[in-house]
Chains A and B, each alone.
Chain A
Amino acid sequence: MSSLAVYVVAAAAVFGVGVYGLIVADHVLRKLLALNMMGSAVFVLMVAVSGSAQGRPDPVAQALVLTGIVIAVAATAFALALLVRIHHDTGRVTLSERGDDDD
């Protein structure tokens, strides 16, 4: 097993763990943690796969992932701003489709 394959398998495992966390979490902050871990897993996978041909990561893939990291932190910041506002207006920190959370 090459070291690239090690990272690919680890990234897939982290992605699966992130999906699990996203589903079971009630607190939106936890959902955001899981979502960020899924994003990191995809980034690691992209960089590992892009390096398989020439032995070092493709610079275009690296630039894409760098862009992705910044967009991820921006999206997280916006989600947190929404969450703080939701908490301020309704007192809730969870999402509920019915709109009548039991807390």
Chain B
Amino acid sequence: MTPELLVDVILAVGLVALSLRVVSGGELFRDIVVFIVFGLVVALSWARLGSPDLALAEAAIGAGVTGALMLMAYRRLASRSGGASGDRSRRLRLAAPVAVLAGTAVAIIGLAALGIDGASDSGGAAALAALPATGLGNPVTGVLLMFRGLDTLLELVVLLVVLLGAWAMMIPGPPPALHLVSRDTPLVAALLTIAAPLCVLVAVHLLVVGADEPGGAFQAGAVLAAGGVLLVLTGVLRPSREAGPVIRLAVLVGPAAFVVVGVSAMAFGRPVMELPGLWAVYLIETAMMISIAVTLSLLFGRSGGFRRGGP
């Protein structure tokens, strides 16, 4: 067994062991934390599979944002345990066979697909061939922005619809304060002074290098959202019920910039969603980053908007 394969086997065993731990039914809080660790191991697996873009996205979005949302919901639900429902015994009897069947089916499909020789004219090969003409170096960014722009636009629309849905489901009355510590606590102010600008710096870095290296608007938006979560938890931003004009603008700027640039291509005789150049990629990605960061922060705070908190 080569050292590389050994690393893969260790990661794979880790994935399965952590997933078993999550469903084993201990304390819910601990299971959520183990789920976050599971997400980080998935990120490592993607780094090993040769996809650093996905590794970054999984670490920031899959493990980070999902974990923060889960922990916040756990806090809101006051750690109630689920009561056992009546048909539980029947479900328990069926669970293991159904799970084994499902896992076996997925294994058969996956191993069969591994044996298939890829078609030479696949979409990925076409994207790699057409990439140099776009001026981009990162094929994933190329696919997301240049070749499959409509998918990415609709993805932003899904985020917007989710935010509208969450707003519709908001609990009546003023949103509860979410901060855990005040800024007077020793070291918190110092932490904020370092961490908040660092989030902005890392996000902008991911955005800028995303054209040629691993990174991009989604990873950058998630890192920025992590900064937003930090500001909410320390009470610098307080949730408010109504979204102010700045928040509304920030939520809409991503899809709006994409639509305006994509549709205005028609005025110059090009197909819809064909971006005119690299400047358009940077413009749209910046707008996307802002929208994604604000949307995720609002979903975390379960609030319509934010106002500046007192010291």
Partner of A101, one of B85, B95, B114: B85
Which chain B residues lie closer than 8 Å to A34 at the CB level?
22-23
Which chain B residues lie closer than 8 Å to A37 at the CB level?
19, 22-23, 35, 38
Residues facing A in B85-112 (CB within 8 A) are 85-86, 88, 91-92, 94-96, 98-100, 102-104, 106-107, 110-111
Which chain B residues lie closer than 8 Å to A76 at the CB level?
66, 69-70
The size of the chain A interface, using a CB distance under 8 A, is 86
A10, B31: Cβ atoms closer than 8 Å: no
B139, A59: Cβ atoms closer than 8 Å: yes
- Cα distance A20–B106 when bound, in Å? 14
Which chain B residues lie closer than 8 Å to A56 at the CB level?
50
**Nearest chain A residue, comparing its CB with the CB of B126:** A60
B49, A69: Cβ atoms closer than 8 Å: no
A28, B82: Cβ atoms closer than 8 Å: yes
Which chain B residues lie closer than 8 Å to A61 at the CB level?
124
Partner of A57, one of B25, B51, B113, B170: B51
Residues facing A in B200-224 (CB within 8 A) are 216, 218
**Nearest chain B residue, comparing its CB with the CB of A16:** B103
B23, A17: Cβ atoms closer than 8 Å: yes
Residues of chain A touching chain B, judged by Cβ–Cβ distance below 8 Å, are 1-21, 23-30, 32-34, 36-37, 40-45, 47-54, 56-67, 69-78, 80-85, 87-88, 92-94, 96, 98, 101-103
